[in-house]
Every structure is written in C-alpha cells, then in structure tokens.
Homo-oligomer: A and B are copies of this chain.
Amino acid sequence: MLMRTVTVFAPATIANLGPGFDVLGVAIEGLGDWVSVTIRDEPGVVIESITGDNKKLSLDPAQNTAGIAAQEALRLIGVSDVGLSLRIRKGMPLGSGLGSSGASAAAAAWGVNMLFGSPLSKQRLLHASIVAESVVSGWHADNVGPSLFGGFILIRTYDPLDIIELPTPFGLTFALVTPEMELPTRQSRAVIPQEIPLKLHVAQSGNLAALIASLFGGSPILLGRAMQDVIVEPARAPLIPAFEKVKASAFEAGALACSIAGAGPTLFALCDDAITGAIVAGVMQEAFSTYGGLRSSTHVARVDQEGARVVG
C-alpha cells in the first residue's frame, strides 16, 4: 500500500560561494522548509496552506516553486490519474539569499518521489527542482542541488547536467547574519558585470581551484584564503549598507572568510569551530546595527550533510 502523506524537510543553502558564482553551493544545518505532500483523488497539484511566509507567497501552484516541482516530479514519474495537495512551512527568511525558493522545491520534489516509491534518480529529481527554481530565479542548481543532496555541491555543466558532491572539512562552521532589508534578486543580478577582464577571470580561477582543493584537503585555513570573490562581491557589496565594516568585523573576530550568501543580503562568515562562529555572528550583528543602522538575525551552523529527508 502506498503512503498517502509524507512530510519532507529540505535545508537552507548558500550559493555563489565566494569565487564559485553559479557553480557552487552548500547546505546549512538548522534552517529550511517543510513540505507535506498528500495524494488526492483528483489530478493536478493544489497548495492547501503556506505558513511562515508573512503571506508573501502565492497559493497558485504554478507560481510557487513547491507546486511546480511537485507537478514536474509527477510528470516525470508519469502519474496522471491522481493529484497532490501540498502544505508548506517556511523555516527561513524569504528573499534573504539562503535559497528559500529552492528548499521548497527540493522538499516537494523529494516528497513526491518518496510517495510513489522513489522511481526518480537523483538527476531527475534535480531536474524537477531546477524547473521549479527557474520560474522564480532563473535556471540554477546551486541552491536546489545542495538542498536536495546536502554538503557542498558543484555544478560542472547544465547541458548535460553534471553535478559533483564534494567533501566538507571537519569543524567548518558558518556564521550567517541577515539584515532586515529588501534586496530583490533581480536587482542583485542586474549589477553583475556581463564582461569580465581576463585578469579577474584568472584571479577568480586560482581561488576557485584552491577552494575545491581545500575541501578535499580538509583545510579550513586554505578554504578561508581561497574564499575570495573579485567579480561578483565587489559589484554587489554597495547594495548592502555597511558591508565593508561588517566584513572587517568578522575577520577581527576570527572568521576565515566573509562574503555574500547567494544574491544577499545575508552575509556568511566561515569559521573553523562553533564557538568562533557564535562570536563572529555577534560582532557582525553589532556592526550592521552600528554602521548600517540595520537590525539583523543570526544563525550559526555546520554544513547539512543530508539534504532533503522525510521527517514525518
């Protein structure tokens, strides 16, 4: 007998990790979205409820990443005689750069696959989630990839879709600080230069290659040195008040690196243990308040190694 309902949690993620613009993302423990998927007798997908979104998200399944991912997963499985009902609980701030839309998509796709006995490969699940993500923020896998599979995920190419799971250095901790401000992804993408000087391309390449080496080598120190972004961060930093001050405060408190999470405005700092992470998050919050006049929320967490999973 098939289950009628499953509840899936999928973690928050950080994409555009330093020099890894559009190719690298990581899943974060302790923040994420829950999606309950229930089989219903009529075909089609409906969204029954959304909580935790301050009424900002649409209940129209064609406008919601969970709805679209569920529909796409159904289509890939080849189910057309029954439909699905979704209940969504957002567990992280929307529009903060932590992959909120991607987590809902990943949770929904994972849930549908589970309900029907896991007929879809990882690759197909990822595809369903990318289709959903594309409706709200373009054809990207650097949020949905780690939200589905956990850990650090590299997207080598989209055509063919080729993703690589990377190891996580022991102890690595992220301090996340989300200032209370609006920063539309559209605006954040608009400032990225469409042409890159060769010199910056080479500098970014050296750091990206070193970053990947640091993950395999288990070296948080090298990871910190390599987490430098000379292309995207300089373009986006002016959109975030007091960015330079907050970043400087993170380094002073012992962070190994600090940059913008996804399209922002959340900043992340890399730390090599949880205690330093907590201190760093505190001074960053303080700096946002002092120099930017912004309230902010903080979260200190390790890398989520599991990705999407059934929780009920």
Contacts and interface: CB of A to CB of B under 8 A. Distances in A.
B23 A154 contact: no
Interface stretch (A57-65, A83-91, A189-197): A189-197
Contacts of A205: 19-23, 204-205, 208
Contacts of A217: 216
A166 B213 contact: yes
How many chain copies?
Answer: 2
A222 B197 CA distance: 28
A201 B22 CA distance: 10
Contacts of A121: none
Interface residues of A, number: 39
B20 A162 contact: no
B162 A23 contact: no
Given A154-B210, A202-B23, A204-B205, A194 B196 contact: no
B20 A156 contact: no
A192 B192 CA distance: 23
A207 B23 CA distance: 9
A209 B156 contact: yes
Contacts of A216: 212-213, 216-217
B157 A206 contact: yes
Contacts of A22: 202, 205-206
A194 B203 contact: no
A67 B6 CA distance: 72
